[in-house]
Structure 1
């Protein structure tokens, strides 16, 4: 059976995915599906670099502002909601464009991952969360590295949710987490994977500048509101929120928190690039090598070549003939 089409636009934070995704959607009669694990949360706008209504340029966006920060939302929940959104887009005869940098979430949509295979153990998870509170993230990650070195290498210590999940899966199944993830799932769609990248020094400058702009736009106020309302849970582990929470708890100065935010964002960008290069069949475009219009035209032509889709202008010209 022929699979339905999906464009996936991926890459590191601050590389310019939002703009390119919107432009592709406008040219190809598409709609955008966010592939970001944190943009689902309401009230977390500045720190997640959430696209604003005035930036959407009339393009419908999905998987944004669908949950309160206190509500739990797993990758399996994301998979179900995102694939449902994509199905609705297809039903309307539009082209879905998945835009994001959260590798596992993107891959959970593009491929047939079955997250129901491993049952959960709430008691064990609570024990691991208590362990983190008492001994810290690094100690928990060391437990994973000892039990499953491959998973320990693949999952960063700061990703506490993922570390706990890996340990939980091994606890329930008795098998190493890395061995269970090694089986390559089948693709769900006819996916065209596009990656955006640029020279690392220039990317890091963009990341640092973006953080400065976030602070100017009111990131401290946004996070303080969450802090003063005692909002906790997985949402607050996001980069941009955990650093300022530490400041509000008196653990560091505001300048130190901002420096950590920049450093963690740069490290995250590096991990994003590693994930997509190692785990996906992505065609990469350097968005720093020439002007944005030239690069966009190359991307548009590549998408048309891979999918056979016409631009709106081409459709109008055919209609007049």
Structure 2
């Protein structure tokens, strides 16, 4: 069964649309949803990631949700292997794999079957020890010395990517860019649907979404995850909303600090949306649908357009 993929910026309604499509196909073909959001992989990170609550999934099987502890590092390569296995298994059951998410690298690595450079746990551990001892600035300076081109595109405070670049350079003896994932032949020939909407409307939705997250208990969720190691998690601690709330808690969690966390979360999400748009718009395979209007009639038209694109691809 050829997969169907729904991508697009944060806040455009991808998860809800996926469930509506599964409902529409109910009784005709089974649908199983595969998550492609890096932070929804984490157990306990529910409110801030926009994870659909179990009670609202309408019995539709979901994969790649709640598979990691917050102290575990999520990697594109690891996700690719695991999600590809899920999609193959779903298709083998005669069900429709419905891939949904907005994490750019996760989606493209999966659909285009990227090949990744080798890893060496011992070398990585050594660089991570150097990071802990010397800090991100000195480690980045080492990358400047070994691979100036990589250092020029990796931000000074992005310790995770700095460590990975140093690991790859040491393993391969070549610049990091020369070992970047290679785009392979398109896998599965999935129909790819993109959801987007007018910037002004999406900005309003993101502001409302951020307010709702804080109103629903994002601060309490972050506090509950701190004893589980959230602050130590290389990937989880960087999630939008969670990183800002942790900074507010360090600052004393007064009203001013928490208001600033909410504002910074919204601004950071808007910046992330710009990156998502830039990335996804480069893919000519995507059929874009306008999700600006939220009337029932327009929603029905979107569902029909998605199903039509999938049927034609199948």
TM-score (norm 1): 0.83
Match of 1:21 in 2: 18
Shift of 1:6: 1.3
The residue matched to 1:96 in structure 2 has which SS?
strand
CA pair 262-143 structure 1, distance change in 2 beyond 3 A? farther
CA offset digits 1:259-301 (Å, max 9, x no partner):
1111111111111111111246211111004635425424533
1:178 aligns with 2:177: yes
CA offset digits 1:53-95 (Å, max 9, x no partner):
2221222111111121112332221111111111221122111
Match of 2:46 in 1: 45
Would you say the 8 A contact 1:285–1:299 is kept in 2? no
Match of 1:271 in 2: 275
1:55 and 1:213 map into 2 onto residues whose CA distance is 17
Most deviating of 37-46 and 294-303: 294-303
CA pair 189-257 structure 1, distance change in 2 beyond 3 A? same
2:169 and 2:244 map into 1 onto residues whose CA distance is 30
Shift of 1:152: 5.1
Match of 1:126 in 2: 128
1:95 and 1:158 map into 2 onto residues whose CA distance is 41
1:91 aligns with 2:92: yes
Shift of 1:224: 1.0
CA offset digits 1:41-60 (Å, max 9, x no partner):
11111011111122212221
Match of 2:61 in 1: 60
The residue matched to 2:246 in structure 1 has which SS?
helix
Gaps of 5+ in 2: none
Shift of 1:239: 0.9
2:96 and 2:260 map into 1 onto residues whose CA distance is 44
Would you say the 8 A contact 1:5–1:307 is kept in 2? no
The residue matched to 1:39 in structure 2 has which SS?
helix
1:174 and 1:186 map into 2 onto residues whose CA distance is 27
Match runs of 1:1-321 below 5 Å: 4-28=1-25, 29=29, 30-115=31-116, 117-120=117-120, 121-123=123-125, 125-126=127-128, 129-130=131-132, 133=135, 135=137, 143=144, 147-148=148-149, 153=153, 160-181=159-180, 183-231=182-230, 232-233=232-233, 234-250=235-251, 253-279=257-283, 281-289=285-293, 291=295, 293-308=297-312
CA offset digits 1:200-250 (Å, max 9, x no partner):
121111111101000110000000112244432121111111111111122
2:313 and 2:114 map into 1 onto residues whose CA distance is 28
- Number of residue pairs matched by the alignment: 303
The residue matched to 2:99 in structure 1 has which SS?
strand
2:295 and 2:137 map into 1 onto residues whose CA distance is 49
Would you say the 8 A contact 1:15–1:197 is kept in 2? yes
Gaps of 5+ in 1: 311-321
1:107 and 1:260 map into 2 onto residues whose CA distance is 28
Would you say the 8 A contact 2:112–2:186 is kept in 1? yes
CA pair 124-244 structure 1, distance change in 2 beyond 3 A? same
CA pair 136-202 structure 1, distance change in 2 beyond 3 A? farther
1:85 and 1:58 map into 2 onto residues whose CA distance is 18
